């Protein structure tokens, strides 16, 4: 059973707030995706990297850490159920318990059917939907409190029911290593993500590649990743196969 995260966060609240005391700017995303760099991992898999896509990332970080209902999930590792070494929260536009990432959908503090936790997240979701022609309808939040928090090699679950899903990760807080390698092992590639960076995995990335955030013995500050996903089971990509042309009209999903 997932335990409430109030006590888990209390010991780290001072550290997290100290991370964000310097000058704040009004949060906003770059609608023109200035500085976008696309890397083709193979013939069908790609990642996009946009440094500092989110302005005012420190304010977003501090407000989300303070207001989200954090949980520490249990995961299966080595045939045992163990506490996951990070904190998580979830928001969905659909109110569908199946999208709630195994959180208890009956909790009074769940975020389903409510506006995005911050207005800038609504703007980010709309901007990503228009640019990548995907109806992003849910947001996952992962808080890595220090170098001991991590996530093991994995590919996202969208691969089981969608062809070529797009997953967008907006990183706030201190930069942490984010690694990608071929599914099952092989040479990995690494990006340092934080401070408002946007990282998008597309094409066959979730089918052919896996990613992780490794532990580190180096002293690092907390990082909060904000993951935008499209979980609509009945949605199909445009027949043209051109997924980031901005031709998809996702207005019905931008509630």
Comparing C-alpha atoms, which of 243, 246, 247 is closest to residue 46? 243
Q: What domains are there in the chain, each with its CATH number?
A: 3-233 (2.60.120.590)
Q: Which residue shows structure tokens 């888990």?
A: 8
pLDDT digits 0-9 by tens, 213-252 = 999 999 899 999 999 998 754 444 444 343 333 333 333 3
End-to-end CA distance of the chain: 32
For strands 37-40 and 45-50, give the pairing. Answer: antiparallel
Residue stretches of the chain with pLDDT short of 50 = 1, 3-11, 96-112, 233-255
Output the six-digit token pair for 102.
């195994």
% of the chain with per-residue pLDDT over 90: 56
Whole-number Å distance between alpha carbons of 173 and 196: 8
Output the six-digit token pair for 38.
């696309």
Cα dist from 25 to 20, 55, 56, 60, 175, whole Å: 11, 7, 5, 10, 19
Whole-number Å distance between alpha carbons of 204 and 44: 6
Non-local (6+) Cβ contacts of 98 within 8 A are none
């Amino acid at each position: 059973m997932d335990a409430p995260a109030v006590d888990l966060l209390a010991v780290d609240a001072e550290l997290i707030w100290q991370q964000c005391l310097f000058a704040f700017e009004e949060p906003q995303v770059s609608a023109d995706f200035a500085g976008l760099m696309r890397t083709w991992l193979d013939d069908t898999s790609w990642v996009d990297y946009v440094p500092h896509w989110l302005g005012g990332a420190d304010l977003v970080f501090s407000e989300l850490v303070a207001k989200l209902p954090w949980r520490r999930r249990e995961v299966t590792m080595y045939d045992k159920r163990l506490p996951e070494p990070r904190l998580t929260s979830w928001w969905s536009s659909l109110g569908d318990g199946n999208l709630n990432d195994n959180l208890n959908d009956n909790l009074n503090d769940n975020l389903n059917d409510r506006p995005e936790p911050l207005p800038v997240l609504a703007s980010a979701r709309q901007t990503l939907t228009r640019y990548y022609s995907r109806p992003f309808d849910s947001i996952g939040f992962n808080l890595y409190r220090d170098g001991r928090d991590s996530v093991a090699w994995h590919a996202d679950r969208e691969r089981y029911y969608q062809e070529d899903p797009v997953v967008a990760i907006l990183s706030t807080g201190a930069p942490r290593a984010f690694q990608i390698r071929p599914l099952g092992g092989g040479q990995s590639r690494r990006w340092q993500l934080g401070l408002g960076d946007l990282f998008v995995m597309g094409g066959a990335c979730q089918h052919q590649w896996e990613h992780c955030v490794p532990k580190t013995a180096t002293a690092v500050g907390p990082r909060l990743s904000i993951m935008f996903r499209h979980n609509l089971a009945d949605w199909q990509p445009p027949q043209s196969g051109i997924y980031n042309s901005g031709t998809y009209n996702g207005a019905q999903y931008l509630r």
